[in-house]
């Protein structure tokens, strides 16, 4: 590389003047630094590339439940799972590990999700394996060849009329019938992957509800956490529905129950399930769960909301609905006059 003390090398008049000035500086003993000839062009190209990346980022509607992660500094993440309707990312933070999901418009609207404005195509949303690197922060999520930006926000905590809302009795009956079945005793209810019978965890949970014993209900969490197959085991979904229901229906011990459940989840279940239990303890739920709860206070049609919730996953929707029924019963038996 020539020093800036060399000839003008075809720089033109302005370049020649700058070169001459630099030569005088060198002769005067002032240190000179070789400069790349294409620095301005490189800067312009970098700026153009950034502007192109901004234009190519796919807009999404992001949950406020992950706003701190998205708006915060850029963090390295890794892929938990990529399927046609979603890709889930594990994001290390100073306070532990969080999860962010990029979801298609027809996926379950989870409280940790950034929802795209398009449905699934039948192919993996991003063609990357589990463990692949990703980035979250600065208003964006980048994984594989997909970059999404938060173009809008949605609140996963449903707005209810009061801190302790009254539910429509006919709505509660409809929900219970949809979950347990017409004329079927609650003791006969089962969920795939969970032990049944009088000694099973669901029977213990029902017993705690009958006795209006929240502490006994919390003790069943030690048997339900991590129980069942999949990224969100059915036992966890039952507890998520119960926890969120207690929080949103204003049970005075809801915070203690939620803290107990999330504390038990550490090391006992999947990363995604732990994250969803944490959101449930803050009253942040899926869009499908929120629609049922709003309909129970008269805001929206209940039957289609229940049907949409029950269609969520293979067992998740049914387990979440069971958890909501459990929370309703606990609230009725422990806080409301009879």
CA distance 327 to 333: 10
In the beta sheet, which residues pair with residue 137?
Answer: 140
Residue 224: the pLDDT is 95
CA distances from 202 to 33, 89, 181, 293 (A): 75, 31, 16, 22
Point out the residues of the chain with pLDDT beneath 70: 1-55, 186-187, 336-338
Which pLDDT score, from 0 to 100, does residue 191 have? 86
Q: pLDDT value at position 103?
A: 98
Q: What pLDDT is recorded for position 99?
A: 98
Give ∠ CA 190-325-307 in degrees, rounded to 5: 80
Write down how long the chain is. 338
To the nearest 10°, report the CA torsion of 180, 184, 185, 189: -40
Domain ranges of the chain: 57-154, 169-334
| Single pTM value for the model | 0.82
**Cβ proximity of 6 and 19 under 8 Å:** yes
Compute CA 14 distance to the chain's CA centroid, rounded to the nearest angstrom: 56
Q: Could you give the CA distance from residue 109 to residue 290 in angstroms, rounded to a whole number?
A: 10
Please tell me the distance from the alpha carbon of residue 95 to that of residue 168, in angstroms, as a whole number: 40
Q: What share of the chain is helix, strand, coil (3-state, %, to 5)?
A: 45, 15, 40
Q: What is the DSSP string of 104-161?
A: -TTS---TTEEEESS---SS-SS---TT-EEEEETTEEEETTEEEEEEEEE-SS---S
Residue 22's pLDDT is 43
pLDDT given at position 230: 82
CATH class of residue range 57-154: mainly beta
């Amino acid at each position: 590389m020539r020093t800036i003390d060399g000839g003008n090398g075809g720089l033109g008049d302005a370049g020649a003047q700058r070169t001459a000035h630099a030569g005088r500086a060198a002769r005067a003993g002032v240190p000179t630094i070789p400069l790349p000839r294409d620095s301005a062009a490189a800067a312009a190209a970098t700026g153009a590339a950034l502007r192109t990346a901004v234009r190519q980022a796919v807009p999404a509607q992001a949950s406020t439940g992950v706003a701190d992660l998205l708006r915060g500094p850029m963090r390295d993440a890794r892929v938990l799972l990529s399927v046609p309707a979603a890709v889930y990312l594990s994001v290390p933070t100073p306070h532990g590990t969080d999860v962010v999901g990029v979801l298609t418009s027809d996926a379950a609207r989870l409280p940790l999700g950034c929802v795209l404005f398009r449905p699934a195509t039948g192919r993996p949303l991003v063609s990357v394996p589990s463990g692949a690197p990703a980035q979250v922060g600065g208003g964006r999520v980048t994984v594989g060849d997909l970059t999404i930006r938060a173009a809008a926000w949605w609140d996963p905590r449903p707005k209810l009329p009061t801190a302790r809302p009254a539910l429509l009795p006919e709505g509660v009956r409809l929900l219970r019938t949809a979950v347990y079945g017409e004329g079927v005793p609650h003791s006969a209810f089962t969920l795939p992957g969970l032990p049944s019978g009088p000694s099973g965890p669901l029977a213990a949970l029902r017993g705690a509800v009958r006795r209006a014993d929240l502490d006994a209900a919390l003790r069943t969490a030690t048997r339900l956490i991590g129980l069942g197959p999949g990224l969100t085991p059915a036992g966890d979904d039952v507890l998520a529905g119960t926890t969120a229901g207690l929080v949103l229906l204003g049970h005075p011990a809801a915070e203690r129950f939620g803290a107990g459940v999330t504390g038990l989840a550490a090391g006992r279940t999947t990363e995604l399930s732990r994250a969803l239990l944490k959101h449930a303890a803050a009253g942040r739920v899926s869009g499908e769960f929120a629609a049922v709860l709003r309909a129970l206070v008269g805001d929206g049609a209940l039957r289609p909301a229940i049907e949409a919730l029950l269609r969520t996953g293979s067992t998740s929707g049914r387990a979440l609905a069971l958890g909501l029924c459990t929370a309703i019963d606990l609230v009725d038996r422990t806080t409301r006059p009879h």
